[in-house]
Amino acid sequence: MQHLASAHAHSVHANRKDLSAVGPNLGRVRCGLRTMCEGYCGPMERNQNTQHDQQVEPLPVGTSAPNFALPHTPSARIVLRECLGQPVVLVFYPLDWEAVSRDQLLLYQKFAPEFEGLGARLLGISVDSVYCHLAFARDARLRFPLLADFYPRGQVARRFGIYRDKHGMSARALFILDRHGKICFSRAYPDLFNPGVDEALTTLEALISGSQERERDKEA
């Protein structure tokens, strides 16, 4: 198991360097940079509050994630508690078809094998409808589920503390849950900031390492 994790970590770091095939902007956002397309130019601080919106207060690390059930097709829902037993990555983003969100989700699709190799379930969430998600995912060739926090609008985003009433949409935010549903990574980002994949993959690698250490302690 330890050799597998080490080999996988090497593969992840190698693959993070190769983003040119995904799109012209994704190579710039591997470690979380503002995109440089369509007038979105200039630096942005990683810790800058989203639109300086004081209403955005993501649930903190150590909190148990609230359960939810959201549709990803007209006839199927995903229930969070049914995904537990493995790490879960919740990617909240403002809207389908928006340039930064598209680049961000394309990047996650690029690294889907790495997330899968780390045993994690990847879920995107926005206030768009199921039908909008289906059209967007088809156009962008996304294969992980996009969940519709559509009705009641933003209900799940509110429960995670990242819904922005003024704009009627969620902030861009990332939560990583351990296999028991406890939040082990929590952060909201400015709208024009693509957080990349490094923080998510590093957090998941740390979860595996911590789990292995606990197993060794039990055997000792």
Per-residue pLDDT of 47-59, as tens digits, reads 444 444 557 999 9
**Does residue 69 contact residue 80 with C-beta atoms inside 8 Å?**
yes
Mean pLDDT of 113-119: 97
**Domains defined for the chain, CATH in brackets:** 2-219 (3.40.30.10)
CA-to-CA dists, residue 118 to 47, 111, 204, 205, angstroms: 27, 11, 7, 7
CA distance 12 to 30: 12
pLDDT band (50, 70, 90) for residue 208 = confident
Residues 6+ apart with CB under 8 A from 120: 86, 87, 88, 89, 176, 204
Please tell me the pTM assigned to this model.
0.78
Nearest to 176 by CA among 208, 135, 152, 132: 208
**Phi, psi torsion values for 77, nearest 5 degrees:** -120, 155
pLDDT at 134 over 80: yes
Q: Which of 8-17, 70-79, 92-101 has the lowest mean pLDDT?
A: 8-17
101 class by beta-carbon count within 10 Å (0-12 exposed, 13-18 middle, 19+ buried): buried
